[in-house]
Amino acid sequence: MARTVADVMTKSPASVDAGQPVSVAAALMRDRDTGAIIVNDDGRMTGIVTDRDITIRLVADDKGPDTPVREACTPSVEVVGPDTSIDQAVKLMRQHAVRRLPVVEDGRAVGILSIGDLAMERDPNSALADISSAEGNR
């Protein structure tokens, strides 16, 4: 059984610069079959943008696809290191009601831990594990 975040995280997460248009983040989400993209400023993680962020913060306010990612992203994000125990990561996710935790080393994202990753590790027969391991919609 996995013991640390590094054992179950999704490695090499997609990332986008905070000044890039949100359309670039949306295209990465499509191409990488993910709902979250790491947001960087000068190579350092400064936030995360999700498909829901784009919908709620941009589309609902009639902002276009050229809007910079920094206007859609969540800048204050709980993060963990790769050596964080899975139990501690689960505790953080529960405390902060988040579905994903960026995994950061030296200010740079090296992975993302999602509730789907945890479901596949801890309860592989669950509906969430089945959904998380299924091929994405294209």
Q: Which two tokens stand for residue 88?
A: 């501690």
Contact 121, 2 (CB under 8 A): yes
Nearest to 132 by CA among 60, 19, 122: 122
**CA–CA distance, 62 with 35 (Å, rounded to integer):** 21
Over residues 24-74, the pLDDT tens digits come to 999 999 999 999 999 999 989 999 999 999 999 999 999 999 999 999 999
pLDDT at 117: 86
The DSSP string of 50-88 is EHHHHHHHTGGGT--TTSBGGGTSB-S---B-TTSBHHH
Which has the higher per-residue pLDDT, 112 or 125? 112
pTM of the model: 0.84
Question: Whose structure tokens read 């992975």?
Answer: 111
